[in-house]
């Protein structure tokens, strides 16, 4: 369908242009309709109907790009959530204890969650990779320090130290 001529013929009939718009949507040729409106709005800048349709279609284009970005964010979030869940599932293994009373998961859950959140934010924003790497390095350094410190202590002090690190009030 040649939308250019059809819209030109309906230059003062908003209901006909609306019908053409619905036809364009149904036939998946909205880009041709948008192109026809843009051309006619540029050819006849005094036609308020064309100008209004041009603005309407531009706003719809912005909304479409926003909704497609939102969908893209979900496509990033779901795999990250799955990886996070698998990581926490592996760490919840009762055999992964750092002492008699503490699972490794209790000590590392917050840094791991922070890591996955930072990965998501960096993939969606596509900026700040250097800061993320620096923060992840600090998280790894802190965890390494806690593990090494707890291994070097006697059993009595090791339990007290880990209790403080995990934040439990009773053992």
pTM: 0.50
d(CA 165, CA 167): 6
Task: Give the pLDDT band of residue 169 (cuts 50, 70, 90).
Answer: very low
Contact between 31 and 3 (Cβ < 8 Å): no
Encode pLDDT of 48-89 as tens digits. Answer: 888 888 888 888 776 665 556 667 788 889 999 999 999 999
Encode pLDDT of 91-114 as tens digits. Answer: 888 887 766 666 777 777 888 898
The CB-based long-range contact list for 142-150 (8 Å cut-off, 24+ gap) reads 142/111, 143/107, 143/108, 143/111, 146/107, 147/98, 147/107, 150/98, 150/99
Going from N- to C-terminal start, the domains of the chain cover 3-67, 92-166
């Amino acid at each position: 369908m040649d939308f250019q001529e059809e819209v030109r013929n309906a230059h003062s009939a908003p209901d006909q242009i609306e019908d053409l718009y619905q036809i364009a949507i149904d036939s998946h040729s909205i880009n041709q309709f948008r192109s026809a409106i843009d051309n006619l709005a540029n050819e006849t800048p005094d036609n308020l109907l064309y100008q209004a349709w041009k603005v309407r279609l531009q706003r719809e284009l912005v909304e479409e790009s926003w909704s497609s970005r939102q969908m893209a964010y979900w496509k990033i979030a779901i795999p990250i959530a799955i990886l996070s869940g698998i990581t926490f599932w592996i760490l919840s293994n009762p055999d992964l204890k750092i002492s008699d009373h503490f699972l490794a998961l209790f000590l590392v859950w917050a840094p791991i969650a922070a890591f996955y959140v930072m990965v998501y934010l960096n993939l969606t924003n596509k900026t700040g990779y250097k800061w993320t790497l620096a923060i992840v390095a600090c998280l790894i350094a802190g965890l390494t320090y806690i593990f090494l410190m707890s291994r070097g202590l006697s059993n009595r002090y090791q339990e007290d130290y880990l209790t403080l690190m995990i934040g439990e009030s009773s053992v």
